[in-house]
Amino acid sequence: MGQRRDSVRRELLDRTLVSLFGKISPESYREIEGNLEVVHLKGGEWLFSQGEPGDSMYMVMGGRLRALGRSDGGGERMIGEISRGESVGEMALITDEPRSASIVAIRDSILIRLSKASFERLIRSQPDLLLNLSRLVIRRLTRSQRGRGRNSRIRSVAVVFAGEGVPREEFIRRFSAALGVHGSILNLSRERVEALAGILPAAEGTEADRYLASWLDEQDGRHRFLVYETEETDSPWTRRCLRQADRVLVVAGTKEDPAPRGVEADLLVAPGPFANASRDLVLVHPGEGLAPSGTSRWLDPRGSVRHYHLRWDCGADMERLARVLAGKGVGIVFSGGGAKGFAHIGVLKALREASIPIDMVGGTSMGAILAAGISADWDFDTYLRTCLQAFSRGNSMGGISLLPLVSFFSGERLDSLLKGQFGGGEIEDLWIPFYCASSNLTTGSVEVHDRGPLWKALRASASLPGVFPPVVYGNHLHIDGGTLDNLPVSAAREFGAGVVIACDLDLDKQYRLDYQVFPSNWELFKDRYITRRKRFRVPDLPSIVFQATLLGNHEKHEKALVDADIHFRPKVRKIRFLDWSAFGQAVEIGYLHARERLEQAGRAWLDPDCT
């Protein structure tokens, strides 16, 4: 067994060195090998801190690390994660600058260290290796800007049950079956490890600990996923599970007390070695009845954790959880565009017909409003009917403000429309994870809303400057998200989407001018409503404002399209921004476009491992 483990690590080391330096001469390889040092880190231990001298680089042979940087507010922000077969610290060796981030082990990890002195001797003997390493660093920086989702390359999951509200064995069975669709899986309970490894998981001593860690690392190399089954108490095996896990699932029944307790309270919430553990909260609902409510009571005491609602009798929810953890969760993002946005509904219809799953949803402005209906998990007929009733009957903009000091419309009609459509629910109470983007006037930055009152977040996201008044949200003023990010793809990656579908709108419209001086208001009024000649081709006020908001983020918008795994761009330029009567026309345009696009693209884009 030991020989096989060594050969597996040797092969992994060889691949890692080649990815770092390219082709290495036998002499250089022997020099590297003679200067490597094995480093063992337990989950929660720090490798180095931001600002420290960069005296070495590391290659991950087993385990998982997290990179953290200082945020503007003085706290820490997650930059990314480093997993098996990847390296960290090489940037400092090239630039001779201090560490740009802090690195902590999420789980027990085995690293190979190459010192700066050895690195410099290697470069002197084979200078072209520095060029290869520099290229790798540049590619990595490019990838990090794009991101592949917080769930990419997860290999080990520890399951912690918060209370007795969920049948432990049945949950593990269903979860393992769903996760096993995406690769080979090995379930590891204390009893099973004892039977397979021939050692008590609670055995003490450095030698026993190293042997068990090596055996578990070997299983990590042999299987796509390991599922660790923790015990109900703070036992050595439970701690081992948490130290080995890339992700910890806290599973709770929604009928129970939401306060953390037991293993979760003692090890995951309280300060200690597992405080930095990457956690997700799975809230199990007993049936498919009423929509979730009161989710904030579960989230508030747990800090920044992602959560998933799971209906016990709905296999699709378990499949969604498995896809997300496997790094194959599908996120869909809708752009803004007023009545043109109805084309998104047609795209959704084509996706549903093609059996494309949707695991998280986001959007901006009109796109956010339409996306929220998907997160409510309405069937398509209900979704279509609700959107039709909300927007195509009557004036969706509402009355003109009598004193237009801030905006042309008062926004009261839109407020009541959103409240009527979504009630007083919170974003975190939606069945499918959701977010929307607004522009924070106070800070001058994009604000991504994934918690709080749903209707108000949507209202903030759709507050087109000059058309609707700004929204007061969290003591700040917010306006339409399209002013800074009309297609928030990057947020989908940050929330864990392994595959991103970007639904954009072809808004480019060329106005052919047959006049030298812009017509006066009286000339426009006469042309449109008295003579009805429509001589002047002039966009209406909301269209001018919307197009103006997009000018400043054109480059960001185009990058979002490139960063998506597939994008749709229905040609709706002939539909006016406020033409709510064009509902059916826009839906049909989006549907036909998406069908054609899906036929051309095939289905390879759905698998991140193939792209």
Highest mean pLDDT among 72-81, 343-352, 397-406: 343-352
Kindly state the tokens that stand for 419: 């409240």
Look at 7-16, 107-116, 397-406, 515-524 and tell me which has the smallest mean pLDDT: 397-406
pLDDT score of 172: 97
Q: Give the highest mean pLDDT range of 123-132, 243-252, 576-585.
A: 243-252
User: Which CATH superfamily is 156-326 part of?
Assistant: P-loop containing nucleotide triphosphate hydrolases (3.40.50.300)
Question: 3-state class of 96 per DSSP?
Answer: coil
- At residue 16's C-alpha, the angle toward residues 13 and 19, to 5°, is 150
List, by residue range, all CATH 2.60.120.10 domains of the chain: 1-145
The pLDDT value recorded for residue 201 is 77
**Which residues does 151 contact at the CB level (< 8 Å), separation at least 6?**
247, 324, 325, 326, 327, 329, 496, 498
Residue type at 102 in one-letter notation? S
Length of the chain: 611
Least confident stretch, 299-303, 394-398, 453-457, 492-496: 394-398
**pLDDT tens, 532-551?**
666 666 666 666 666 666 66
Q: Which residue in this structure is represented by tokens 């969920």?
A: 166
Residue range 43-65: average pLDDT?
87
CB atoms within 10 A of CB 417: 21
Q: Which of 142-151, 314-323, 478-487, 531-540 comes out lowest in average pLDDT?
A: 142-151
Give tens-digit pLDDT for 267-317: 998 888 888 788 999 999 997 778 899 999 999 999 889 999 999 999 999
Contact indicator for 152, 498 with CB cutoff of 8 Å? yes
More confident residue, 261 or 10: 261
Residue 402: the pLDDT is 59
Collect all residues with Cβ–Cβ distance below 8 Å to 17 and sequence separation of at least 6.
24, 29, 32, 59
Asked if 248 contacts 278 with a C-beta cutoff of 8 angstroms, the reply is: yes
pLDDT computed for residue 515 by the predictor = 62
Q: Is 601 exposed, middle or buried (0-12, 13-18, 19+ CB in 10 A)?
A: middle
Output the CATH code of domain 1-145. Answer: 2.60.120.10
Convert the pLDDT of each residue in 426-443 to its tens digit: 999 999 999 999 999 888
Here the tokens at position 551 are 């000018």
Mean pLDDT along residues 216-227:
89
Q: Could you tell me the pLDDT band of residue 145, with boundaries at 50, 70 and 90?
A: very low
C-alpha distance from residue 378 to each of 367, 373, 374 (Å): 16, 7, 6
Read off the pLDDT of each residue in 214-219 and give the average, rounded to a whole number.
84
Q: What share of the chain is helix, strand, coil (3-state, %, to 5)?
A: 45, 20, 35
For residues 375-387, average pLDDT: 93
What average pLDDT does this structure show over 221-238? 93
Give the 3-state DSSP-derived string for 11-38, with helices as H, strands as E and coil as C: HHHHHHHHHHHCCCCHHHHHHHHHCEEE
% the chain with pLDDT above 90? 45
Q: Is the pLDDT of residue 611 over 80?
A: no
Indicate where the chain has its CATH 3.40.1090.10 domain(s): 330-512+554-606
Helix (H) or strand (E) holding 425: none
* pLDDT bucket at 397, cuts 50 / 70 / 90: low
Which residue has tokens 């039977």? Answer: 195
H, E, C per residue of 262-305: HHHHHHHHCCCCCCCCCEEEEEEECCCCCCCCCCHHHHHHHCCC
Averaging pLDDT over each range in 144-153, 186-195, 540-549, which range is the top one?
186-195
Residue 256 has pLDDT above 60, yes or no: yes
Give span(s): CATH 3.40.50.300, the chain. Answer: 156-326
Between 511 and 72, where is the model more confident?
A: 72
Query: Which of 101-115, 380-394, 445-459, 548-562 is predicted most confidently?
Result: 445-459
DSSP-assigned beta bridge partners for residue 432: none
Sign of the CA dihedral with 450 first, then 307, 286, and 321 last: positive
- Judged against a pLDDT cut of 60, whether residue 572 lies above it is answered with yes
Percentage of the residues of the chain whose pLDDT score is greater than 70: 83
- Which amino acid is residue 248, in one-letter code? V
Whether the model pTM is above 0.95: no
pLDDT tens string 7-29: 545 666 777 777 677 676 777 77
Q: Between 49 and 142, whose confidence is greater? A: 49
Segment 566-582 shows an average pLDDT of 89
Q: What is the pLDDT of residue 552?
A: 63
The pLDDT assigned to 37 comes to 86
- Please check whether the domain covering 330-512+554-606 is classified as CATH 3.40.1090.10: yes
Residue 492 has pLDDT above 50, yes or no: yes
Q: Rounded mean pLDDT of the chain?
A: 85
pLDDT at residue 129 in the model: 73
Distance CA 281, CA 269 (A): 12
For the cut 80, the answer to whether the pLDDT of residue 482 exceeds it is yes
Rounded (10°) CA dihedral 198, 201, 205, 209: 80
